[in-house]
Amino acid sequence: MAVKLYQSLVNQVKDIVNEEFGIMDDTGLILACSNEKVIGQNNALALEVMRSKDQFVVIDGQSFLKVYIKSKLEFITFINSQDKENYKYLSLISVNAINMKTYYEEKYDKLNFIKGIIMDNILPGDITLRAKELHLANNVKRVVFLINTEKAKDIYTHEIIEGLFPGKNKDFVIILDDESTVLVKEIKQEFDYKEITKTSRIIIDTLSSELVKAKVGVGTVVDNIKDIGRSYKEAEMALLIGGIFDDDQPVNDYNRLGIGRLIYQLPTTSCTLFLNEVFKDGSFESLDSETMSTIQKFFENNLNVSETSRQLYIHRNTLVYRLDKIQKITGLDLRMFDDAIIFKVAMLVKKYLDSNKRFM
């Protein structure tokens, strides 16, 4: 496609430039020319041009301008004349060729297209048409993984992810910033959700082996390319809600946010009223860190006194004493299912309110 763009440029300019001119690659292969008969042939002087240290070279009646992009030779413009004005002509042709190539890559590059979808930079009505132009399957299942990492010197997260998922026509790795990378992964039509969980663990474990601390948010599976943006927003929401209610978990799946999703959608005023109702007179604040650790372990063991005391390395009677103390302070007996539910929900609500205070 770049060749067609170059030839289109040459056709627009050839009525202005009287001499034969064109564009060749860094091997001397003529990509576009005002004399279309020589397209595809090699310029006989290309080797001498390449040997020259100068950017503008005149040899045997021909003028050449080497064009570099990011210190890499991209192409060479030439004109069959040694007039001093040729440098201006070649410079103008080169600038326009670079602009056309950049525009084409930005418009048709698949990664930029996918990034445009997740960042809402493409109109929904244009997505299907653009996908067809890029030969991207429209109705296949995809899921978005949002990977947040801490800054690590000389380690590039996107390169590690690309190494894990090299299928460039099906899987897309997109850099958002220094700490955020997106993986848009195509999955089988008949997929097992365990595979998505496994993929998340592979990402976490691989980055961990490179001493990169990471968290992964997982969106829902979508079956249309225009819905990739929704899956990304869900992955973003999963990390946000997971960071509030399950900060110690490296993977947060939008489909498995549990009661945290419900609490996050509640007005803070309602949450405050509920918390004041459950914990009167600052009773929650009077629970020390040891007591809170005991409560957490008690919940993890499904209110089993014997198993909790074993894991805490304390006597059963000691645990019973602590639970009695909690009941005395809060009025809730955590050995009773209903009271345990109220306390658990109240803990989550407090986490939510505390997180709101941090961002105020």
pLDDT band at 152; cut points 50, 70, 90? low
CA distance 53 to 113: 38
Note the pLDDT tens digit of each residue in 49-82.
Answer: 999 999 999 999 999 999 988 788 889 999 999 8
Among residues 65, 82, 108, the one where a domain terminates is: 108
Mean pLDDT confidence for 216-224: 95
CA distance 203 to 212: 11
pLDDT band at 155; cut points 50, 70, 90? confident
Note the pLDDT tens digit of each residue in 123-142.
Answer: 888 999 988 888 888 889 99
Judgement on whether residues 76 and 146 belong to the same structural domain of the protein: no
Average pLDDT, the chain: 89
Judgement on whether residues 257 and 118 belong to the same structural domain of the protein: yes
Judgement on whether residues 102 and 127 belong to the same structural domain of the protein: no
Judgement on whether residues 81 and 177 belong to the same structural domain of the protein: no
pLDDT band at 185; cut points 50, 70, 90? very high
Judgement on whether residues 132 and 230 belong to the same structural domain of the protein: yes
Structural domain tally of the chain? 3
What's 289's domain CATH number?
1.10.10.2840
Among residues 84, 108, 132, the one where a domain terminates is: 108
What is the model's pLDDT at position 85?
81
Mean pLDDT confidence for 93-121: 85
**pTM, 2 dp:** 0.69
Judgement on whether residues 218 and 245 belong to the same structural domain of the protein: yes
Note the pLDDT tens digit of each residue in 273-322.
Answer: 999 899 887 788 888 889 999 999 999 999 999 999 999 999 999 999 99
User: What are residue 4's phi and psi, to 5 degrees?
Assistant: -65, -40
Judgement on whether residues 92 and 118 belong to the same structural domain of the protein: no
Judgement on whether residues 281 and 219 belong to the same structural domain of the protein: no
- Calculate helix-pair angle for 110-118, 228-245, nearest 10 degrees: 60
Q: Helix, strand, coil shares of the chain as percentages rounded to 5?
A: 50, 15, 30
pLDDT over 70 at 1, yes or no: no
What is the model's pLDDT at position 165?
87
Note the pLDDT tens digit of each residue in 241-285.
Answer: 999 998 889 999 999 998 999 999 999 999 999 998 998 877 888
Judgement on whether residues 204 and 126 belong to the same structural domain of the protein: yes
Residue 11 belongs to domain spanning: 2-108
CA distance 316 to 347: 24
Contacts of residue 188, defined as CB under 8 A and 6 or more positions apart, other chains included, come to 141
What is the model's pLDDT at position 264?
92
CA distance 106 to 126: 15
Secondary structure of residue 117 in the 3-state scheme: helix
Judgement on whether residues 123 and 245 belong to the same structural domain of the protein: yes
pLDDT band at 204; cut points 50, 70, 90? very high
Note the pLDDT tens digit of each residue in 4-27.
Answer: 888 989 999 888 888 899 999 988
pLDDT over 70 at 106, yes or no: no
Share of the chain above pLDDT 90, in %: 60
Structural contact between residues 143 and 228, judged by C-beta atoms closer than 8 angstroms: no
pLDDT band at 37; cut points 50, 70, 90? very high
Judgement on whether residues 104 and 117 belong to the same structural domain of the protein: no
Q: Which of 349, 316, 314, 347 lies closest to 332, judged by CA?
A: 347
pLDDT over 60 at 359, yes or no: no
Judgement on whether residues 149 and 256 belong to the same structural domain of the protein: yes
What's 58's domain CATH number?
3.30.450.40
Task: Give 6 or 108, the one with higher predicted confidence.
Answer: 6
pLDDT band at 100; cut points 50, 70, 90? confident
Among residues 86, 108, 130, the one where a domain terminates is: 108
**Partner residues linked to 217 by β-bridges:** 146, 252
What is the model's pLDDT at position 305?
94
pLDDT band at 349; cut points 50, 70, 90? very high
**Partner residues linked to 30 by β-bridges:** 24
* CA separation, residue 121 to residues 135, 179, 292 (Å): 20, 21, 46
What is the model's pLDDT at position 189?
86
What is the model's pLDDT at position 153?
67
